[in-house]
Structure 1
Amino acid sequence: MINTYNDSLANPDIFKQLSVKDMLFVYYKCPQISRLIQLYNHYNLIAFSLEGERTLHQGGKAWRVTPKTSYFQRKSAYVQELSDAQHWKVLAFHIPDQFLINFVKEYLDFLPTTNLPSTNSDMFIKIELNAVTEAYFYSLLPYFSKPEKQSEKLLELKFKELFLTILTNPANKQLLSYILQLNTTDKPPIWQVMEKNYLYGLTLKEYAQLSRRSLSAFKRDFKLHYAESPGKWLTNKRLEHACVLLKTTQQTITDVTLNAGFKNVSHFSRRFKEKYNIPPISYKNLHSNQIEKKKDF
């Protein structure tokens, strides 16, 4: 599983970058080759698509990102799909929770905090743009090509100005609602992190990062909520999802393996047979035959 923040830091030749306190700003042409790739980020992220496009999949939903569109990504894992356009140029901002919390405290009097919607569970929130917002995004691009080190204070002010413009737009109340919630919530609930990310091949340490907990605290809180170990819960949850795919889709066993969060077919097949006393291919054929009989009837 590729951590987009860590991958950007490790490849400055691909991801032109600027560091601003605990934030990371990157400007890049996406190097993706495979049609589908699993990614995750333990920071929040704002992205502005400059050229080309991608489709992002998370929680059974899809977000198509085209030129001059923007989105806010909560900390999560997701699948990124390569489009026919192939290339994709992006300006992205990796932002820790604490910056967002401090920002709200600093600018609360300027934010439209009345009649906000309840926060939904989507990991991606579309950012509605206008001419002013777009101009702010483009005004940051020259900083990536300047040879001299840029003033962190200036870059921070530029970003705050951009972010304030986004949040004062009434069309972005869903995003504002989420950020205000960060200010009142110590940590996201364990169930929310797991239900949104169990299909991705994250390690327990990475799940702990997404939940803003140490590994030991994550395991403790997980056991309190689910009354079983994370490993056992993940396996059972993924097997249940695999059953649905085998019964209701025409996906191959290989595709079901990957889409249910298992790393290889042999491991998936062994676990499936242990739980259901039947190999996955036999399970698939059985239900395919039942569907055909119903059609004939």
Structure 2
Amino acid sequence: MGIVYNNYDDTVADPHTFRQLAVKDALFLYYRCPQVDKHVQLFSHYNEIMFTLSGSRTMHHSGKSWTLGKHSCLLTRKTAYLQELPDVVGWEVLAFYFQDDFFRQVFNEYRQYLPLTNLPEPPRDMLMEINVNETTKAFFYSILPYFKQKLPPAEGLLELKFKELLFNIFLDPVNAGLLAYVNSIMDQQKIPLWEVMDANYMFNLTITQFARMAHRSVSAFKTEFQQYYNTSPGKWLTQKRLEHAKLLLDTSGKSVSDVAFVSGFENLSHFSRVFKEKYGTSPLQYKKREVDI
């Protein structure tokens, strides 16, 4: 239990399943999702925009859920999330991976045309719903023929198409929250370490995976972590996960096994051991005690 798959690495490694168009470090994919398990934990060190052509998936993060149906669109920032397989068979999707620098590049190039007055506060969610209007929908469908060509399209053309996508999304007033988020990171050199940790500690990510999402080397990540939190990543993660698990045992009807899974523990036995060390009782005994009170 608790394995977190790198969405970006896994798709790049399987071009047969995930048909790909690449420009520099940006990547457009077209695929039918091969997911078979009811729940999978995924993470990426890239931003990702997903547009559903058919079928459905539900994403969960920090107690919130986003269901993608036909023609719905979602941005996942550099983060982990839980992906749920619904009863609807199949999920045909276009996905666009890119770094923050591409956000900044498009924002700067088209700044004079963007509706930047009276922007709302930037959303804190690591997943953001994107409104799809007729122009944006037409753009996504205009990309599909490129995946069927024998010869790949010119990189210059693809780069223009990638920019067109973001520009159209930015222009839609309904996406003012997303535009506010991009505006907020224009002067940001790198993602704050605390933002990555607070949003993802409940996933069973390794230190290397956390470092990749934060765009730091492992050594730089550990050094900065120690300076910011005054403790090691391992100790901090165990403490945060235990606090999260205890809260779930107190307030939810989840089983002990489910609590261990959604709190980021590697397995049930490890969770039970560290929980007892911290709180003097096993998770099951603690849960029963809460029921008896």
TM-score by length of 1: 0.95
1:184 equivalent in structure 2:
187
Given candidates 117, 121, 124, the residue that maps to 1:121 is 124
Quote the offset at 1:169 in angstroms: 1.2
CA distance in 1, matches of 2:164, 2:268: 49
Given candidates 46, 60, 65, the residue that maps to 1:62 is 65
* AA partner of residue 175 (structure 1): L
Quote the offset at 1:205 in angstroms: 1.5
* AA partner of residue 48 (structure 2): L
Given candidates 40, 60, 65, the residue that maps to 1:37 is 40
* AA partner of residue 141 (structure 1): L
CA distance in 2, matches of 1:118, 1:248: 30
* CA distances 1:81-125 after superposition (whole Å, capped 9, x unpaired): 111103111000001111222222211112111111121210111
Kept in 1: contact 2:211–2:217 (CA 8 A): yes
* AA partner of residue 113 (structure 2): F
* AA partner of residue 253 (structure 2): Q
Tell whether 2:164 aligns with 1:161.
yes
Q: Between Structure 1 and Structure 2, whose CA radius of gyration is higher?
A: 1
1:258 equivalent in structure 2:
261
For residue 216 of structure 2, give the secondary structure of its aligned residue in structure 1. coil
CA distance in 1, matches of 2:207, 2:5: 15
Given candidates 239, 242, 251, the residue that maps to 2:242 is 239
* AA partner of residue 5 (structure 2): I
Given candidates 130, 136, 140, the residue that maps to 1:137 is 140
1:173 equivalent in structure 2:
176
For residue 106 of structure 2, give the secondary structure of its aligned residue in structure 1. helix
For residue 184 of structure 1, give the secondary structure of its aligned residue in structure 2. coil
Quote the offset at 1:180 in angstroms: 1.9
Gaps of 5+ in 1: 291-297
Q: Could you say which structure has the greater relative contact order, defined with CA pairs below 8 angstroms and 6 or more residues apart?
A: 2
1:267 equivalent in structure 2:
270
CA distance in 1, matches of 2:251, 2:165: 45
CA RMSD of aligned residues (A): 1.1
For residue 183 of structure 1, give the secondary structure of its aligned residue in structure 2. coil
CA distance in 2, matches of 1:213, 1:180: 23
Gaps of 5+ in 2: none
CA distance in 2, matches of 1:217, 1:64: 36
For residue 179 of structure 1, give the secondary structure of its aligned residue in structure 2. helix
2:29 equivalent in structure 1:
26
* CA distances 1:228-264 after superposition (whole Å, capped 9, x unpaired): 1110010011111111122222222211111111111
2:155 equivalent in structure 1:
152
1:222 equivalent in structure 2:
225
Deviates more, 1:22-31 or 1:187-196: 187-196
* AA partner of residue 131 (structure 2): E
For residue 110 of structure 2, give the secondary structure of its aligned residue in structure 1. helix
Kept in 1: contact 2:55–2:90 (CA 8 A): yes
CA distance in 1, matches of 2:97, 2:195: 21
CA distance in 2, matches of 1:239, 1:51: 39
For residue 144 of structure 1, give the secondary structure of its aligned residue in structure 2. helix
Matches within 5 A, 1:195-214: 195-214=198-217
Deviates more, 1:62-71 or 1:112-121: 112-121
Quote the offset at 1:25 in angstroms: 0.6
TM-score by length of 2: 0.96
CA distance in 1, matches of 2:284, 2:162: 52
2:92 equivalent in structure 1:
89
CA distance in 1, matches of 2:116, 2:191: 21
* AA partner of residue 163 (structure 2): K
CA distance in 1, matches of 2:61, 2:275: 24
Q: Moved runs in structure 1, 4+ residues, more than 4 A? A: none
For residue 114 of structure 1, give the secondary structure of its aligned residue in structure 2. coil
CA distance in 2, matches of 1:220, 1:112: 40
